[in-house]
Amino acid sequence: MRLSGEILPPPPDDPALALKQFLREDGTALDESAIPKIANAELGRMLRGMLTIRIMDERLLGMQRQGRIGFYGEARGQEAAVIGAAAALGPKDWLVPALREAGAAIYRGLSLRTYISQIFGNENDVAKGRQLPCHPGTRAARYVTMSSCIATQLPHATGMAMAAKILKEDSVILGCLGDGASSEEDFHVGLNFAAVFRAPVVFFCQNNQWAISTPTTRQTASPTYAIKAYAYGMRAARVDGNDVLAVYSAVKEAVDQARSGGGPTFIEALTYRVSAHSSSDDPTRYRDESITEKWRQKDPIERFQKYLIARKVITAATIETMKSEIETEVREAIAAEESVGAPPLRSIIEDVFAEVPQFLADELAEIESLPRQKLGGVHQ
């Protein structure tokens, strides 16, 4: 806002500064009448989705520590942001992930076995072990394979949205990012193009306050990440990322606006990465873990469970049954996929060439003639 050449700050109740919230940390509603109308069955499905992420993360991180898988990245403490955003999408919409959204792919239809096969990189993995673990992709669930290159997915999300617009498809693209992505060139490219051409895309930023070891105070001088939207001429929203209903409401509103031709929205979901950045990281070396412990008390799953029990949507006993069912599903999927062998060695070239050149066929034959132990157990 400009007045006589003076740049004025936005009002404190501006959606880019204020934090949208429906549930207090103890699970009670701030205003029951303001909470979006969601069927009880869908509320239960959202809780199941959040619990699936938590249980799956616990089991798979434990396996990494045992040396049974090579790498893993948790979404612990961020389950509300992941599932709240996914639940707000329609079946024709696409989700372009950042790093911790694999639970959204499962929520949208990716099977546990398919996801776990990707982590093992075994013969059942559709990528045949050629992608990093925790990087699934599924055309059926409209979930694009993630990339570890920070922010490159944002121009992709904008491009997909423009394609949908040109083809007159009734699809909206959810482009996910973390706070660290806001410092990359692709952040500017993606948001600027989307705003200028009013692409049907929603940018969803999980501000978990740490980009590996870089805190938000070293990432930006802006009072919030959401406020950056105004520089691009798009709508902004800022929500409590640990309140699944607030996340759902903000994303649903933005998706509806984009679908109706109203252009893009940038959403900041304020949360916290209570676990390490990945299984390769030790956060005790760079952050005050007493702050982390305070955020653990803001557990998004506990908050949502308390609300649902108070509203008699679900009972504590039903939740325990649900947890037990998910535990069984995860363990059975792990047992089934851990016993599957590696992808055939021949797939290295057969998936590249329709007709394998003779020189590569000769090289492959030479490799296949080597003793199994010299190939690290990969040869089949």
Task: Confirm whether 100 is a catalytic residue.
Answer: no
Domain count, the chain: 2
| 380 pLDDT more than 60 | no
Q: Are residues 229 and 288 in the same domain?
A: yes
Q: Specify if 2 maps to a domain.
A: no
Distances from the Cα of 365 to the Cαs of 75, 359, 371, in angstroms? 43, 10, 12
Q: Are residues 164 and 308 in the same domain?
A: yes
Q: How confident is the model at residue 379 (pLDDT cuts 50, 70, 90)?
A: very low
Q: Are residues 269 and 151 in the same domain?
A: yes
Q: Specify if 1 maps to a domain.
A: no
CATH of the domain at 161: 3.40.50.970
Given 321, 338, 355, which residue is the final one in a domain? 338
| 373 pLDDT more than 70 | no
Q: Are residues 205 and 354 in the same domain?
A: no
Q: Specify if 205 maps to a domain.
A: yes
Q: Cβ(251)–Cβ(20) under 8 Å?
A: no
Task: Confirm whether 277 is a catalytic residue.
Answer: yes
Q: Are residues 255 and 334 in the same domain?
A: yes
Q: Are residues 207 and 324 in the same domain?
A: yes
Task: Confirm whether 115 is a catalytic residue.
Answer: no
| 375 pLDDT more than 70 | no
| 11 pLDDT more than 80 | no
- Catalytic residue of the set 273, 285, 287, 303: 273
Chain centroid offset of residue 140 CA? 17
Q: Are residues 213 and 354 in the same domain?
A: no
pTM for this prediction: 0.93
Q: Specify if 106 maps to a domain.
A: yes
Q: Are residues 297 and 331 in the same domain?
A: yes
Q: Which pLDDT tens digit goes with each residue over 167-180?
A: 999 999 999 999 99
| 59 pLDDT more than 60 | yes
Q: Specify if 245 maps to a domain.
A: yes
Which has more pLDDT, 371 or 82?
Answer: 82
> What average pLDDT does range 209-224 have in this prediction?
96
Q: Specify if 4 maps to a domain.
A: no
> What average pLDDT does range 24-28 have in this prediction?
96
Q: Cβ(120)–Cβ(340) under 8 Å?
A: yes
Q: Are residues 146 and 244 in the same domain?
A: yes
Q: Where does residue 87 rank: exposed (0-12), middle (13-18), buried (19+ CB within 10 A)?
A: buried
Q: Are residues 244 and 299 in the same domain?
A: yes
Q: Are residues 177 and 215 in the same domain?
A: yes
Q: Which pLDDT tens digit goes with each residue over 324-351?
A: 999 999 999 999 999 999 999 888 888 8
For the four alpha carbons of 220, 82, 264 and 139, in that order, the dihedral sign comes to positive
Q: At CA 69, angle to CA 288 and CA 97, rounded to 5?
A: 65
Percent of the chain with pLDDT over 90: 88
Q: Cβ(271)–Cβ(208) under 8 Å?
A: yes
Q: Which pLDDT tens digit goes with each residue over 244-255?
A: 999 999 999 999
Q: Are residues 325 and 361 in the same domain?
A: no
- Catalytic residue of the set 68, 286, 331, 372: 286
- Catalytic residue of the set 76, 108, 277, 303: 277
What range does the domain containing 277 cover? 10-338
